[in-house]
Chains A and B, each alone.
Chain A
Amino acid sequence: MKLITGGAYQGKLDFAIKKYNINTTEIVNGETFDVADLSNIRCINNYHLFVKKLLENGENPISETSKIISENPDIIIIIDEIGNGIIPLEKNERIWREQVGKVGCLLAEKADTVERIICGIAIKIKG
C-alpha cells in the first residue's frame, strides 16, 4: 500500500497519476465509492471524505480501513491533512477531524511509502 498526503489542492492526485501511471478509470472518489467495487481499482482519492461517510453511516473507520488495506495490499490511498486548524465547534466535525488523524496514522504505519505533497512537490517521508 502506498499513501499520499498533504493539504487540499496541493497536487496529490496529479502526482499519483503521473508517478504510478494510473488510468482515471482506476481511481475512485472517497466520497462516493463502494467498498464492494474495489476490483480493478488502483487508487482511492479523498480518503478523508470516505472517513466522513463511514461516520455518517455509523461505521468504524479504523476497522473498515484495516479491512480495505488487508484485502487490497497494492492500493494507493490519497488522504488530505485536515488537523492543522482550530478545533471545530461542532461535535461531529471534531469527531471526523480526530478520526481522520487516527486513520491517517494507521495508513502511514501500514504503508510501504508515504509521500507528502506541498505546492506540487513530493517529499518522501517514509520508505
Chain B
Amino acid sequence: MLILITGGSKNGKSNIAEKIITSYNSKKFYIATMIPFGEEAFEAIERHRKIRLNKHFETIEKYTDIHEVNIDNNSSALLECIGNLCANEMFENKIENPTDKILSGIFKINSRAEVFVIVTNQVGEDGIEYPKDTMNYIKNIGEINRKISEKADCVIEAVYGIPIVLKGELPPCLL
C-alpha cells in the first residue's frame, strides 16, 4: 500500500501520515530527511519527534541516497519529506536532476513495505519567478509527486488539517 500526502506548510500532513502508520501493527520505520542545521530545523525536528513520541518508530536519518535505506519486510514506513530530500540531493549532493534517483529509492522501499506513506509538499503555487535553481527544484518536486501518484494506491491533500482524497479511497482510520 503506497500513500502520498501533499499539502501546504503546517497543514497537518505529518499528523495524517502518522495516523495511517499507527493504524497498522507492523514494525514502524521513520525515514527522516531534514538536516539538523539551524534553529528552525531543530524546532521542526523537535516538533515532529513529539508527535511520534510513544508510537514506537525506529528512526532512520537519511538526508540523501534513500536507495540505501533498508527496512524489514512487511514493515510500515513513513518518509518525510520529498521537499527536504530533493533539496538535499540538489544543493548538498550537487545533483541537478535527482528525480530518477529519488524515485528508484522510493520504489525500492515500497517493494518491501506493507504500507509506505510519503509526505511531500506543494511548492509551485505562489506564482513567483525564482532563480533558475529554485525553478528547477519546483519542477523536480512536481515530477516526483506525479510519478509517485501514478503508482500510489491513495493520494491525499491536507487542507488545514482536513484530508482530501485525490486518488483512491481514504484509509478507514481517517474516516
On chain B, the number of residues with a Cβ less than 8 Å from chain A's Cβ atoms is 23
Asked if B115 lies at the interface with its beta carbon under 8 angstroms from chain A, I say no
The verdict on A105 contacting B126 (CB below 8 Å), with A94-B40, A114-B162, A125-B164 known, is no
| Contact A85 B128, beta carbon cutoff 8 Å | yes
Asked if B152 lies at the interface with its beta carbon under 8 angstroms from chain A, I say no
| Contact B161 A109, beta carbon cutoff 8 Å | yes
CB-defined contacts of A108 to chain B, threshold 8 Å:
159-162
A85 to B7, CA, bound (A): 10
| Contact A105 B8, beta carbon cutoff 8 Å | no
Question: Which of A97, A105, A109 has the most B CB atoms < 10 Å from its CB?
Answer: A105
| Contact A116 B125, beta carbon cutoff 8 Å | no
Per-residue CB contact flags for chain B residues 95-133 toward chain A (1 = under 8 Å, else 0) read: 000000000000000000000000000111111101000
The verdict on A97 contacting B9 (CB below 8 Å), with A84-B122, A85-B123 known, is yes
On chain A, the number of residues with a Cβ less than 8 Å from chain B's Cβ atoms is 27
Question: Which of A81, A84, A109, A125 has the most B CB atoms < 10 Å from its CB?
Answer: A84
Asked if B134 lies at the interface with its beta carbon under 8 angstroms from chain A, I say yes
Which of A81-99 touch B at CB < 8 Å? Answer: 81-87, 94, 97-99
A126 to B174, CA, bound (A): 13
A86 to B138, CA, bound (A): 8
The residue from B11, B134, B161, B162 contacting A86, defined by CB atoms under 8 A apart: B134
Asked if A45 lies at the interface with its beta carbon under 8 angstroms from chain B, I say no
Can you list 16 A-B contacts (CB < 8 A)? A5-B160, A7-B125, A81-B8, A81-B159, A84-B9, A84-B122, A84-B124, A84-B125, A85-B123, A85-B124, A85-B125, A102-B10, A105-B11, A105-B160, A109-B161, A126-B162
- Since A84-B8, A86-B137 are in contact, a sample of 10 more A-B pairs with Cβ atoms closer than 8 Å, ordered by chain A residue number, is A79-B160, A81-B160, A85-B122, A85-B128, A98-B9, A102-B10, A105-B161, A107-B160, A108-B160, A126-B162
